[in-house]
Amino acid sequence: MKVDVLNMKGEKVETTDLAPAIFEAPIKPDLMHQALVRQLANARRGTQSVKNRSEVSGGGRKPWRQKGTGRARHGSTRSPQWVGGGKAHAPKPRSYAKRMPRKMRQAALRSALSAKASQAEILVLDEFKIEQPKTKEMAAILKRLVGDSSVLILLPESDTSVEKSTRNLTGTETILAQYLNVRDLLEFDRVILPLDSIRVIETNLGG
C-alpha cells in the first residue's frame, strides 16, 4: 500500500510503502473484540470486597423467640434482608485476567491497523518532533494535520517535549509504538505514524 508522507506542516514530502501483511491484512471484528475484552479485563484490579453475614459485626443473638410473636422467624439481625446485614453472594477479590495467544493478539493488531488504513485514518509523517514543550504550538500542529479529530500519536522512542506538549490536549494520546494496543487504536479517530514508528511496528508484527 502506497501512502503519502507528510511533514509537520501537512505538506507532502515523499511516498512510502506500508507492509501489506500489516496494513492490508484481513479485518476480523470478532478477533479485535476478543483482544479488546482481554485488555480491559486485564486492566481491572479485582480488589472489590463486600462483607457477608459472617463478617459483619453483631447479630449474635436471636432477635425474638421462634414462635408466638406473630412476626416472621429470624435467627440473626445480620441476615441479608436486614438493614445493616451482610450481603448475599458478596463479591470478593479475584483476578479478571484473560489469556490470549500471542499470535492471536498480533493478528488483532494487524486487523485494527488494516481497518484504520482502509478508511484513510492513518497519517504518515517523516518525523514528529518539537523543540521544547509547548501545548499551544502542538495544538496548532495537530489542528493543521487532523483538524478536530481525536488522534493517537505513536512515537518510535520516548520524546519528553512531545509527551509534555500533548498531555493537556483533549482527545490526544501519545504512546510508544512498541506498546501499540487494540484499545487505543479503536478509541481514536486518527493515528499519526512517523516513519521510524512504522519500522518498530513492522519489527514487532512481522511486516
- Over its length of 207 residues, how does the chain's per-residue pLDDT go in tens digits? 889 999 999 899 999 999 999 999 999 999 999 999 999 999 999 999 999 999 999 888 999 999 999 999 999 999 999 999 999 999 999 999 999 999 999 999 999 999 999 999 999 999 999 989 999 999 999 999 999 999 999 999 999 999 999 999 999 999 999 999 999 999 999 999 999 999 999 999 975
Residues near 170 by Cβ (< 8 Å), separated by ≥ 6? none
Range of the domain at 104: 2-43+98-205
Whether residues 150 and 201 share a domain: the answer is yes
Same domain? 178 vs 143: yes
CA 178, 138, 117, 154: dihedral to nearest 10 degrees? 0
Sign of CA dihedral 188, 199, 160, 6: negative
116 in the same domain as 39: yes
The answer to whether residues 27 and 107 belong to one domain is yes
Give strand ranges (E) for the chain. Answer: 2-6, 12-17, 122-125, 151-155, 172-176, 190-194
Of 57, 92, 127, the domain-final residue: 92
Same domain, 72 and 16: no
State the Cα angle at 128 between 35 and 6, rounded to 5°: 95
Q: Are residues 10 and 76 in the same domain?
A: no
Number of domains making up the chain? 2
Is 195 in the same domain as 137? yes
Rounded CA separation 199/154 (Å): 11
Residues 85 and 141 in one domain: no
* 67 and 38 in a common domain: no
Specify the pTM. 0.82
Q: Where is the domain boundary, 29, 59, 92? A: 92
